[in-house]
Amino acid sequence: MAAEIIDEDGLVNGPISASIWRDMSVTIENKTPEEIDALLNPAFVPPGWLDSDSEPPNLEPPIKKVRLSLKLKQKSSSRFALPVSFEKLDKAAKGVVPVTTIMNNAWAERVFTAWVDERNKTTPGFVPTDLLTSHDASKLCKYTCYFVLEARTKDGKTYSPGSIRSILSSLNRILKDSKVPFSILNKTDQHFSDLQRTLDSITSDLHREGVGLAKKSATVITFQHEDLKRGS
């Protein structure tokens, strides 16, 4: 018995076992890398991946059969459930979060944080360290423009346009979780018009260099590529 992972665009990303499906709604807040490794099932998540800024691997977990059993529940004297904790309420409010989304968000946040740290070493205090919780649209637009222009892979290569947009999509989800009342990817929001123009310029420049064009077989950096390079 298996379910399929469906991302926020309604696309099916692949089969996943029912046992993992039940854990999809969890978040990675306040958990150690070891706890997250165990949560995401070390059988198909590369060991140590959560400590690197490699892109998430493609998840193709084995489909497992699930034994169904019926158990009689003890009757309660109350018609209502026990009081719900704040953590459980917060978890329910976030809805079901696919494992692939959790991994993408974690990877994008590591890449962005690594850039902030490196940029502030070069130019001390240049980038605010609270950007991913900031409600200042102008500030977010300014520094995400710097980020997309300067972001590089672990081996110093430029990310493809698809990878850059994937990172921004994940950062946008992180901002949404912080109750930021806007989307950095909203093309009609004038606060982020500079970011949209910057992305268009990057895409045009990279396409002229043959990056991201199928006819030249340029590989979009996807979930597993940086990991494979590091492991080789």
Q: What are 169's two structure tokens?
A: 């999509």
The band of 115, judged by pLDDT with boundaries at 50, 70 and 90, is: very high
- The answer to the question of residue 131 being in a domain is yes
- 93 vs 125, residue with greater confidence: 125
Say what the pLDDT of residue 210 is. 82
What CATH number has the domain bearing residue 146? 1.10.150
**Residue 3, beta-bridge partner list:** 16
Question: Is 9 domain-assigned?
Answer: no
Q: Please report which confidence band the pLDDT of residue 141 belongs to, taking 50, 70 and 90 as the band edges.
A: very high
The per-residue pLDDT for 9 is 43
The structure tokens listed for 110 are: 């590591």
Higher pLDDT, 6 or 69: 69
Residue 200 counted as domain residue: yes
- What pLDDT, on a 0 to 100 scale, did the predictor assign at position 99? 86
pLDDT, position 209: 83
Report whether pLDDT(56) > 80: no
Q: Which domain holds residue 214?
A: 100-231
Name the band, by pLDDT with cuts 50, 70 and 90, for residue 11.
Answer: very low
Give mean pLDDT, residues 137-147: 97
Which of the residue ranges 33-42, 141-150, 165-174, 205-214 would you say has the lowest mean pLDDT? 33-42
Q: What are phi and psi of 169, to 5 degrees?
A: -60, -40
| Residues 132/178, Cβ–Cβ less than 8 Å | yes
Overall average pLDDT of the 81-95 stretch = 82
Measured distance CA(150)–CA(126) in Å, rounded: 14
pLDDT tens-digit map of 183-209: 999 999 999 999 999 999 999 998 888
SS3 of the chain: the string is CEEEEECCCCCEEEEEEHHHHCCCCCCCCCCCHHHHHHHCCCCCCCCCHHHCCCCCCCCCCCCCCCCCCCCCCCCCCCCCCCCCCHHHHHHHHCCCCCHHHHHHHHHHHHHHHHHHHHHHHHCCCCCCCCHHHCCCHHHHHHHHHHHHHHCECCCCCECCHHHHHHHHHHHHHHHHHCCCCCCCCCCCCHHHHHHHHHHHHHHHHHHHCCCCCHHHCCCCCCCCHHHHHHHC
What's the domain count of the chain?
1
Q: Residue 13 domain-assigned? A: no
In a domain, 157, yes or no: yes
Q: Is the pLDDT of residue 102 over 50?
A: yes
- In the predicted structure, residue 22 carries a pLDDT above the cut 80: no
- For the chain, what is the mean pLDDT? 75
In a domain, 217, yes or no: yes
Residue 47 included in any domain = no
Is residue 186 in some structural domain? Answer: yes
* pTM for the predicted model, two decimal places: 0.59
